[in-house]
Structure 1
Amino acid sequence: MIRHTVAFSLRHEAGSPAETAFLEDGRQALTSIPGVRDFAVARQVSPKSSFRFQFAMSFADASAYEAYNAHPAHVAFVEQRWVPEVSEFEELDFEAY
């Protein structure tokens, strides 16, 4: 299993309709992709990080994760929403040790 996480901040004002739309549209687009499991959107509560949000999801194996990355819905979300609306991010992908 692979746990894919991305912590990020948006260019939108906190609490704005644009912020809410991005988070909801991301949930809808990414959970529509076959192989995505346990999708979660989280809000940062620690002052130790500048990232405001996190998307996290699991994949059964590397092939499911690769299929997700290449899926047209993922590519479109990244090109049309992520690139113009995200100001900073860090991606982390883990397998059980």
Structure 2
Amino acid sequence: MSAFIHMVTFTLHAGKDNEEAEAFLRESKKLLAVIPGVQDFKVLRQVSAKNDHDYGFSMNFADRAAFEAYNVHPVHAKYVAEIWESKVSSFQETDLVEYE
């Protein structure tokens, strides 16, 4: 099986480059990066003029099963319900595997 890459780009209700946005990014990394199976968690700033989102998260998993376990992990579920849904105004997820 090949590695599984999960990415999401997003915009916050709070806007960008302010303390509320910075706090969201720090808290997200603190909570999500330590969930079992997450590898190489990155917080990213969007720089393309072709994308309306301001930020991104990227993380790798050993395989799709590891991602699925992350997706239903209680910490992730609580994060989505209590933080993500109230702070994020729009987003786009992308999941990739290597073309073989």
- Structure 1 segments of 4 or more deviating over 3 A? none
Scaled by the length of structure 2, the TM-score of the pair is: 0.93
Unaligned runs of at least 5 residues, structure 1: none
| Match 1:21 to one of 7, 23, 28 | 23
| Match 1:85 to one of 87, 91, 97 | 87
Once the 2 structures are TM-superposed, how far is the Cα of residue 17 of structure 1 from its aligned partner? 1.2
What residue number does 1:33 align with?
A: 35
Once the 2 structures are TM-superposed, how far is the Cα of residue 63 of structure 1 from its aligned partner? 1.3
2-side partners of 1:13 and 1:61: how far apart? 34
2-side partners of 1:12 and 1:42: how far apart? 17
What residue number does 1:96 align with?
A: 98
Aligned residues: 97
1-side partners of 2:55 and 2:78: how far apart? 20
Once the 2 structures are TM-superposed, how far is the Cα of residue 95 of structure 1 from its aligned partner? 0.4
C-alpha RMSD of the superposition: 0.8
The secondary structure found in structure 1 opposite 2:31 is helix
Residues 38-57 of structure 1: pairs in structure 2 closer than 5 A: 38-57=40-59
